[in-house]
Amino acid sequence: MTDRYFLLVLLSGVKQVIDLGGAKLRNRFMSASGCFGYGKEFAKVMDLNTLGAIVVKGLSLKPWPGNKGVRVAETPAGMLNAIGLENPGVDYFIDHYLPFLKAKDIPIVVNIVGHSLDEYIQVARRLEKTGVEALELNISCPNVKEGGIAFGTSPTKAFSVVKAVREQSTLPLWVKLSPNVTDIVEIACAVKDAGADALTLINTLTGMVIDITTGKPLLGNVTGGLSGPAIRPIAIRMVYQVATKVDLPIIGVGGISSLSDALEFFMAGASAVQVGAALFRDPLLLERLPKELEDYLKQRQLSIEEVIGLARRSV
């Protein structure tokens, strides 16, 4: 981060800068990639500087158009999306969005995607000296050279993509893991061995909605990613499992819509959290959560360190 950032931290009275896998955050609450765009829309209704960091929508080497047809469907406890990682490409982001975010002097985490190892590497290289705080690898993308199998569903493939980016980038490297696997701990161990600095758990679960009028899948892509409150117990379980076995900082994400939800993730072992789908209903949620956590800790005379991992220590 810039010297100006650290000066602002001191002047604002913040007691500490949070180190998360080498990335310096203002607090423990961030936007989740895909639900916050690149910050411009939310900047109209909230103060971006209240975020611990902004995690921007996934970026690829070249622009991706996304999926055709219906791309979002509401569910009883969340939503399905089949956006298809639509984005303008990393070069467009650097030219058109990054100057805006850097002017806010907020820690910037860039989620990166790719269809091949080379695409991940090229995106990472372009971001190396741009002033972003960290990279978050989305390894749920299909490896087109391997028959469309997602990098994140195989320990070997997960290891290969993380290692390839690690060798090309000096930035802190977070890896966002897919829950659509048999053993999340095995994948987490693989990416740690490959050089990951932190883990983001979890990405969306694969789901489907059928239009009972037509009898056809509602989403143009047939399946989509389920997010929202429905996935929170699964995400908490996976954070708990990984925190027990893997010695890396964890960022919890999945269905957080209140401080109580976030506290479950902290108690399971997460050191920070990301908020996503809830922001569509409550765009000011991320502005409130840091103060709510501060009040919670003061009322109970606790430190956040005492809260993190509490559920594991209680067993």
Counting every residue, how long is the chain?
315
- Whether the per-residue pLDDT at 132 is higher than 70: the answer is yes
pLDDT at position 8 over 60: no
State the amino acid at position 48 in one-letter form.
Answer: L
Average pLDDT of the chain is: 92
Residue 11, domain CATH: 3.20.20.70
Tell me the pLDDT band of 95, cut-offs 50, 70 and 90.
Answer: very high
Structural domain including 24 reads: 3-313
The set of catalytic residues is: 141
> pLDDT at residue 150 above 60?
yes
Instruction: Report the DSSP beta bridge partners of residue 272.
Output: 251
Residue burial 164-195, b: 16+ Cβ < 10 Å; e: rest: bbbeebebbbbbbbbbbbeebeebbbbbbebb
pLDDT digits (tens, 9 = 90+) for 286-314: 999 999 999 999 999 999 999 999 998 87
Distance CA 226, CA 178 (A): 12
Give the pLDDT band (50/70/90) at residue 149.
Answer: low
**Each residue's pLDDT tens digit, 187-205:** 999 999 999 999 999 999 9
Is 7's pLDDT higher than 80? no
**Average confidence (pLDDT) over 66-72:** 94
Q: What's the number of domains the chain is made of?
A: 1
